[in-house]
Amino acid sequence: MKKGFFLITLILGISYNVSAQEIKNVNFVQEGEVSKLIIETDKENVFAERFHVTEDKQIILDLKNVKVSPKLLRGIDTSEFPGSTVYISGYKKPGTANDVRFAVQLRDNVRSILEPSGNKIVLNIENRFGVFSKGKIKTNDKAAQSDLVEDVVGLNVPKSNSIEDILHNLTLSGPKKYIGKRISINVRDIPVPDILNMIADTSGFNIIIDQEVAKLPNLTLTLTNVPWDQALDTVISLSKLVAQKNANILIVKTLASATKEKEEEMKLADLKDNLAPLVTRVFLINYATLVDIEKIVKDYITKNVGTIQLDERTNSLIVMDTIDAIERIKKIIETLDTQTPQIMIEAKIVEAVESYSKRIGLTKGISFGYDPVGAIQAPVGPGFSFSSAPNVTTPTALGMTIGIYKRLLNLDLNLQLMESESKGRIISTPKVVTQNKKAATITSSEQTSFRVQQPATGNQPALATFQNITADLNLTVTPQVTNDGAVNMQIALNKSAFGTRPTVDAPPNITRRNITTNVLVDNGSTVVIGGLYQTTTLETRSGIPYLRDLPLVGWLFSTPYAPDTSKNELIIFMTPRIMNQDEAGMVDRQAKSGVNSTEL
């Protein structure tokens, strides 16, 4: 078991079909304090593996020999749920034909249980550590039950109940799980070697005891019905002994003897290194900087023997050391000297504007004169007029004028009938390319000017000047590529645009929109990082009180019906793409992300 992570494998089913099965559905639900990732297939007996990557707080679920539609591999954002999961991403495992991997990002390291349920695979995840221990979920899977024990931080568990595995567990430091046969010991003032021999005879393992152990003080023990490995561990701890395992043989020494022996081994190792032949190797550094590589490699050369030199002209690292050290340094350089991932980030800013207005009614009411006593004259008129223009400020109007009609004089009215609709869309698509963990900024500016009138002073006449103002589109992104090929982006977007001018000489109005966020996106996927939708409705109407409310004729005593509606929508999309995924070793890194280590 490698330091920093643990690997637990569950094999579901007893047969492995040659023909690939198909994933029909992927779903995520929460039931109380347990989150469930449910994967439904068209057949039963799916071969699956699950392991935890504690450094990255991830659970990896691999399904072998399955087919899946790309739409089912879309990421599932679970950050809105109060549980332990944040995001679930699925993708085809690199380097394989029909293997699929699901990576579950966690807030904190918690335990999980993988269960078969007919043609479904159910990954149960604790929403907080300790849920499974309190019986929140039941399982008949012995491997899953063992998982509940092994996942406890720092608890060492024997791989089996064999003597070799139990003895190996005793030699480890930290808390342990004891599974040996139960025994009882009741002794008084007995030498430590005799107690050790009693436990060895009862348990069936061989023991070699250092002579210095006999010089330790005698012990008095009363242990009833305890595992023999716990009794042995207790005696070793009380007497401050050191245990070493060789198959089913346990070698017990005092701490002083073990320390002295270790010091002698280190001296022999140093002597061996000093006597070993030295070789010189020139490492060409292609992508990393010499200074950074030298800082790392210098900790792995043989002390007081190996040397490192830098040649900046050829960008090379010259190492002289033993053959073993050279091979170790070679693996380090091969792992670290790779291309830095380059990411092209494309943003799409869509801004849609829509306005609608209507004018219905009399613009100036009705004007006329009336002569009750004069002679009725011959009609003069009527005259009709019609005007239209595309500008809202000069709306369509239908007018009628009658000079004389019997006793009516100068009858005049203008009926306004206008409906206006406008739509517009502005799309901005800034793109920028940058290296991993390097901030990139792209800026686009638009400039205009307005008139500034300087007053007259003394003998100087009034002077008119022009002043410039700008509206900018600024995008700053800092990407970070994760081990599974996703991209974490820190984004700062500022967009300003000119509006209308209050007057001809006045500066235009400026609208500004800003967004700052941090998002995790799969390579090549698109995410909406922000949206703004505004609707404005304005309606103004005036008229003669009471009369404007009369039915049928009230419109004769009020201003035209004039509602104005405007809509403004802003949506921002972001798409990151890793341009040199193969060259930067991303494919190999994803393929072994479950192991995530290199033997040196």
pLDDT tens-digit map of 64-99? 888 888 888 888 888 878 788 888 988 888 778 788
Q: What is the 3-state secondary structure (H, E, C) of 531-589?
A: EEEEEEEEECCCECCCHHHCCCCHHHHECCECEEEEEEEEEEEEEEEECCCCCCCHHHH
In one letter, which amino acid is 286?
Answer: N
Tens digits of residue pLDDT in 235-279: 888 888 888 888 788 888 888 888 888 888 777 777 776 677 888
Q: What angle do CA 437, 441, 447 make, to 5 degrees?
A: 175
3-class SS letters over 414-460: EEEEEEEEEEEEEEECCEEEEECCCCEEEEEEEEEEEEEEECCECCE
What would the pLDDT profile of 314-364 be if each residue is shown by its tens digit? 889 999 988 888 888 888 888 888 888 888 988 888 878 788 787 777 776
Find residue 531's DSSP bridge partners. 571
pLDDT at 151 over 50: no
- In this prediction, residue 267 carries a pLDDT of 78
pLDDT of residue 448 exceeding 80, the answer is yes
The residue-averaged pLDDT of 379-384 equals: 63
Quote the pLDDT of residue 397.
Answer: 60
470-508 pLDDT, tens digit each:
888 888 899 988 877 788 899 888 888 887 787 777 788
